[in-house]
Chain A
Amino acid sequence: MFRNQYDTDVTTWSPAGRLFQVEYAMEAVKQGSAAIGLRSKTHVVLACVNKAQSELSSHQRKIFKVDDHIGVAIAGLTADGRVLSRYMRSECINHSFTYESALPVGRLVVQLADKAQVCTQRSWKRPYGVGLLVGGLDESGAHLYYNCPSGNYFEYQAFAIGSRSQAAKTYMERKFETFDNASREELIKHALFAIKETLQGEKLKSSICTIAVLGVGESFNVLDQQTVQELINSFEMVEDEAPAPQEPSAAPEEAAAPAAGEGAADEGAAPMEE
């Protein structure tokens, strides 16, 4: 039986120039429930889908406040996400202590990425299995970054990660040109629509999603469930919204994920590029 000889530890290259363990970590991000983020010039909105593991349990928190000016939404191993959130919080507190000013978002993101990178180059470590959408505001404006387990990071106008995130990405790719000048409310609306896309026909309810906002004159805050439900109602997303065109890419992606989990997928661009 075929066995991949190059995926048993993080530091071994495959002859094709890939690090399988790192790629598997990237796959962990895709397994998690979706998280999305989008920004205007003045605001960032983060949103995520909350799915309880069982009907008897509550769901796990996937959006964390890091500081008044920074927040994260995560997809993948929530436990790893919490560890990284704690690191980010302490970096922010230390910076405020020394400089009495807020840590620029971009710098925190680089520090976070460097931390993730170390795990891809040490034989006794494992990469973090979590993707983070980092939203923040600093003197250069509002920012949205995506940090992934490989140690790469990217800045986005809007992005989605986690399972069936492709549907949300497709929605936002159609709309993103209007985001820069969008109002806070418009951003939230787009966030809800994008989240709805990832649900694949399931009804959008406040009980299965979390929304957080951050902007000029508004420190990072998670909207309470009632507010979210009112927003959903007000956008008339209950039923009369025509069922969004099913993105053909959504289904294949879902099928691809378990396949990649078996670890032999050689085709396609290396996920480190993303």
Chain B
Amino acid sequence: MTKQQANWSPYDFNGGTCVAVAGADYCVIAADTRMSTGYNILTRDYSKICKLADKSLLASSGFQADVRALQKNLEARHQIYQHQHNKQMSCPAMAQLLSNTLYYKRFFPYYAFNVLGGLDNEGKGCVFTYDAVGSYEKVGYSSQGSGSKLIMPFLDNQLKSPSPLLLPAQDAVTPLSELEAIDLVKTAFASATERDIYTGDKLEIVVLNREGIRREYMELRKD
């Protein structure tokens, strides 16, 4: 009998783009809500942003089943952390946990591309950006996922962060105000949606600052 199915694969790519921007006293985390497979749009309203702790939010794209498994893992680990320490995990601690969790599956990786945004213990915005197997870096802004190749150079151009090679190390947070950062993120997504078929439908923006947490939505192209 001739083969009727393509070889089975444990992975799929469900698309999506994530962005996070850190400011002096805020952090903006954003992702579109489209979920696709191949040329199909599975649903137009699937949130990629997961609140892991009071001051850390994770935006992830890639293979949805792995992303969800990763989120659930971190949620459970955070529960245990709270029981043991009687407090919320800090964003830098969550960043290290996420790295370890990803690396734990180094040889059967979570096909997930993450940006972790939040506020550090001083209330300053922080962003951590990852690859699928856990190597990570603290940055001032980042983008991951299908539209990242369109968005990242745009952010580089607009935010002109100090070179990481400078000594002594310069602060990575962006000089923008909160509202300017939100506008920038909206523009970035509107542009990425034009060219990336895996980005679109709706933009979910979560803003974290001293007052707490706030959510905004913006419609994107649906084609």
Asked if A and B touch directly (CB within 8 angstroms), the answer is yes
A residues neighboring B (CB under 8 Å): 65, 67, 89, 93, 96-97
Which residue from chain A places its CB closest to the CB of B79 in the assembled complex? A93
Which residues of B lie under 8 Å from residue A65 when comparing CB positions?
83
Which residues of B lie under 8 Å from residue A97 when comparing CB positions?
72, 76
Q: What's the least CB distance linking B106 to chain A, in Å?
A: 22
Question: CA separation between A93 and B83, bound complex, in Å?
Answer: 11
Determine whether the beta carbon of B76 is less than 8 Å from that of A96: yes
Q: What's the least CB distance linking A90 to chain B, in Å?
A: 8
The total of Cβ contacts below 8 Å across the A-B interface reads: 13
Which residues of A lie under 8 Å from residue B80 when comparing CB positions?
89, 93
Which residues of B lie under 8 Å from residue A89 when comparing CB positions?
79-80, 83
Question: CA separation between A93 and B82, bound complex, in Å?
Answer: 12
B residues neighboring A (CB under 8 Å): 72, 75-76, 79-80, 83
Q: Closest 4 CB pairs between A and B? A: A93-B76, A93-B79, A89-B83, A97-B76
Q: What's the least CB distance linking A36 to chain B, in Å?
A: 23
Instruction: Choose among B72, B75, B76, B83 the residue with the greatest number of A CB atoms under 10 Å from its CB.
Output: B83
Instruction: Please name 13 pairs of A and B residues whose Cβ atoms are closer than 8 Å in the assembled complex, sorted by A.
Output: A65-B83, A67-B79, A89-B79, A89-B80, A89-B83, A93-B76, A93-B79, A93-B80, A96-B75, A96-B76, A96-B79, A97-B72, A97-B76
Q: What's the least CB distance linking B74 to chain A, in Å?
A: 11
Question: CA separation between A89 and B80, bound complex, in Å?
Answer: 8
Question: CA separation between A16 and B216, bound complex, in Å?
Answer: 71
Q: What's the least CB distance linking B101 to chain A, in Å?
A: 14
Question: CA separation between A93 and B80, bound complex, in Å?
Answer: 8
Which residue from chain B places its CB closest to the CB of A222 in the assembled complex? B86
Which residue from chain B places its CB closest to the CB of A66 in the assembled complex? B83
Which residues of B lie under 8 Å from residue A96 when comparing CB positions?
75-76, 79
Question: CA separation between A93 and B76, bound complex, in Å?
Answer: 6
Which residues of A lie under 8 Å from residue B75 when comparing CB positions?
96
Question: CA separation between A96 and B74, bound complex, in Å?
Answer: 13
Which residue from chain A places its CB closest to the CB of B80 in the assembled complex? A93
Question: CA separation between A93 and B79, bound complex, in Å?
Answer: 8
Question: CA separation between A96 and B83, bound complex, in Å?
Answer: 15
Which residues of B lie under 8 Å from residue A67 when comparing CB positions?
79
Which residues of A lie under 8 Å from residue B76 when comparing CB positions?
93, 96-97
Which residue from chain A places its CB closest to the CB of B69 in the assembled complex? A97
Question: CA separation between A67 and B76, bound complex, in Å?
Answer: 11
Question: CA separation between A96 and B73, bound complex, in Å?
Answer: 11
Which residues of A lie under 8 Å from residue B83 when comparing CB positions?
65, 89
Which residue from chain B places its CB closest to the CB of A65 in the assembled complex? B83
Which residues of A lie under 8 Å from residue B79 when comparing CB positions?
67, 89, 93, 96
Q: What's the least CB distance linking A84 to chain B, in Å?
A: 14
Q: What's the least CB distance linking B175 to chain A, in Å?
A: 39
Which residue from chain B places its CB closest to the CB of A94 in the assembled complex? B76
Question: CA separation between A105 and B76, bound complex, in Å?
Answer: 19
Which residues of A lie under 8 Å from residue B72 when comparing CB positions?
97
Q: What's the least CB distance linking B193 to chain A, in Å?
A: 30
Question: CA separation between A89 and B82, bound complex, in Å?
Answer: 11
Which residues of B lie under 8 Å from residue A93 when comparing CB positions?
76, 79-80
Which residue from chain B places its CB closest to the CB of A90 in the assembled complex? B80
Known: A89-B83, A97-B76. 11 other contacts (CB 8 A): A65-B83, A67-B79, A89-B79, A89-B80, A93-B76, A93-B79, A93-B80, A96-B75, A96-B76, A96-B79, A97-B72
Question: CA separation between A67 and B72, bound complex, in Å?
Answer: 16
Question: CA separation between A89 and B76, bound complex, in Å?
Answer: 11
Question: CA separation between A65 and B80, bound complex, in Å?
Answer: 11
Question: CA separation between A112 and B72, bound complex, in Å?
Answer: 25
Q: What's the least CB distance linking B98 to chain A, in Å?
A: 18
Which residue from chain A places its CB closest to the CB of B73 in the assembled complex? A97
